[in-house]
């Protein structure tokens, strides 16, 4: 190793950084000037498992030579070589032979006993793991059990559990959570929903239903709603799953435009929410007043936001009277006037 080369810690990434399970910790280390990452070769380290060991060793030697060449071109040498999977062991060993660097074996999973590998692959991975552990000057363990296993094998070990820096951490103490069920497109009043989000910036809204951007091209309010973090679009869900999502919320909302079509309709989502003891805040639409017991009518966006905020807490104290009423609104109940007329005509209507 030339004295002119800068000693460096080299991270042999098993996947590109964005798709690597330990990306937060790798990215943190890469903040140091003396830490660099090397992307996996194509078609990946796992491809060597399909080759005989001799051929795999030859491929690993060529890959190591290429890595050393790249480091030297950048004025660097490998002082520490960090690898994360037993499939990388041949390349890591070849790198150490060429550079004399220390090997650190980062164990974040016990892949050699995973259920998705057949017996022959497990045997191959087990052998590679043993070589990796024996050659490493340090085993970095992601769990206390992996740490115990490394110590049982007599290896120097340090515990470094997982980090999830990149996972969003919205405030879990939001006062109110709202639920929207159904089609999300031309019938939706995106300006109303945007106004709701702006007036209640901590309001969480869970949207269940297909989103149809093709129906609202160029709509700035739609774009705002799609980018507003507390508005979560879950797509279409089966009724069973949608009901479970509704259980997590305080209130349902009907974000419809006020036009002649919507004014006449009676949205199913109102009775569905009421069956779980949740009221639905609606714009001033005449058809929705059919179920006046289950709705809160809001004449403008300010009233809409105030009505939604007033429903806070229903997730844990649903309206049991409303729920009982909604559960009584069965098909037989709703068909009673029709059945009476059919019976009057001498017909058996069940």
Full-model pTM: 0.78
Terminal CA-CA length for the chain: 92
Tens digits of per-residue pLDDT, 217-264? Answer: 999 999 999 999 999 999 999 999 999 999 999 999 999 999 999 999
The answer, yes or no, to whether residue 128 has pLDDT greater than 70, is yes
Q: CA 126, CA 110: separation in Å to the nearest integer?
A: 10
Cis previous bond, 43, omega within 30: yes
For the record, the structure tokens of 137 come out as 């000057």
What was the pLDDT predicted at 74? 94
What was the pLDDT predicted at 2? 57
Tens digits of per-residue pLDDT, 79-127? Answer: 999 999 999 999 999 999 999 999 999 999 998 888 777 788 888 889 9
The answer, yes or no, to whether residue 50 has pLDDT greater than 80, is no
Which of residues 55 and 325 earns the better pLDDT score?
A: 325
Instruction: Return the number of other C-beta atoms located less than 10 Å from residue 316's C-beta.
Output: 6
The answer, yes or no, to whether residue 6 has pLDDT greater than 70, is yes
Q: CA 162, CA 142: separation in Å to the nearest integer?
A: 6
Tens digits of per-residue pLDDT, 55-76? Answer: 878 888 999 999 999 999 999 9
What was the pLDDT predicted at 113? 84
DSSP 3-state assignment of 208? strand
The answer, yes or no, to whether residue 1 has pLDDT greater than 60, is no
- Please state which of the four CATH numbers 3.20.20.70, 3.30.700.30, 3.40.50.2000, 1.10.150.80 is assigned to the domain occupying 177-333: 3.40.50.2000
Q: CA 38, CA 16: separation in Å to the nearest integer?
A: 9
Q: Enumerate the CATH 3.40.50.2000 domain ranges in the chain, comma separated.
A: 6-159, 177-333
Tens digits of per-residue pLDDT, 207-216? Answer: 999 999 999 9
Q: CA 279, CA 144: separation in Å to the nearest integer?
A: 48
What was the pLDDT predicted at 10? 97
What average pLDDT does range 167-182 have in this prediction? Answer: 89
What was the pLDDT predicted at 297? 98
Tens digits of per-residue pLDDT, 14-36? Answer: 999 999 999 999 999 999 999 99
Q: CA 350, CA 345: separation in Å to the nearest integer?
A: 13
The answer, yes or no, to whether residue 3 has pLDDT greater than 70, is no
Residue with tokens 């058996």, as numbered in its chain: 348
- Please state which of the four CATH numbers 3.40.50.2000, 1.10.760.10, 3.40.50.300, 3.20.20.140 is assigned to the domain occupying 6-159: 3.40.50.2000
Entry field: residues in the chain: 350
């Amino acid at each position: 190793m030339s004295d002119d080369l800068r000693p460096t810690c080299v991270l042999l990434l098993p996947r590109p950084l964005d798709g690597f399970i330990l990306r937060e910790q790798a990215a943190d280390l890469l903040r140091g000037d003396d830490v660099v990452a090397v992307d996996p070769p194509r078609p990946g380290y796992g491809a060597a498992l399909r080759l005989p060991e001799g051929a795999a060793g030859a491929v690993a030697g060529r890959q190591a030579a290429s890595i050393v060449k790249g480091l030297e071109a950048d004025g660097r040498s490998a002082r520490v070589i960090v690898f994360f999977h037993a499939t990388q062991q041949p390349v890591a060993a070849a790198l150490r032979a060429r550079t004399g660097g220390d090997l650190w074996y980062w164990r974040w999973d016990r892949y050699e006993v995973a259920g998705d590998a057949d017996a022959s692959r497990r045997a191959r991975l087990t052998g590679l793991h043993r070589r990796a552990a024996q050659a490493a000057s340090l085993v970095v363990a992601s769990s206390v059990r992996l740490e115990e296993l490394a110590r049982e094998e007599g290896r120097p070990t340090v515990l470094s559990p997982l980090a999830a820096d990149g996972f969003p951490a919205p405030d879990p103490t939001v006062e109110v959570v709202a639920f929207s069920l159904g089609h999300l497109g031309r019938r939706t009043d995106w300006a109303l929903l945007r106004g709701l989000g702006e007036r209640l910036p901590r309001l969480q809204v869970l949207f269940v239903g297909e989103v149809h951007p093709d129906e609202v091209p160029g709509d700035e309010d739609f774009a705002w709603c799609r980018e507003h973090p507390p508005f979560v679009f879950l797509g279409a869900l089966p009724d069973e799953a949608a009901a479970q999502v509704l259980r997590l919320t305080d209130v349902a909302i009907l974000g419809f435009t006020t036009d002649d079509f919507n004014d006449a309709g009676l949205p199913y989502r109102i009775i569905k929410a009421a069956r779980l003891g949740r009221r639905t805040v609606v714009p001033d639409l005449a058809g929705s007043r059919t179920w006046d017991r289950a709705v809160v009518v809001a004449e403008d966006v300010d009233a809409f936001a105030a009505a939604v905020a007033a429903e806070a807490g229903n997730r844990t104290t649903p309206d049991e009277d409303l729920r009982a009423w909604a559960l009584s609104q069965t098909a037989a109940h709703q068909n009673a006037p029709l059945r009476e007329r059919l019976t009057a005509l001498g017909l058996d209507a069940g």
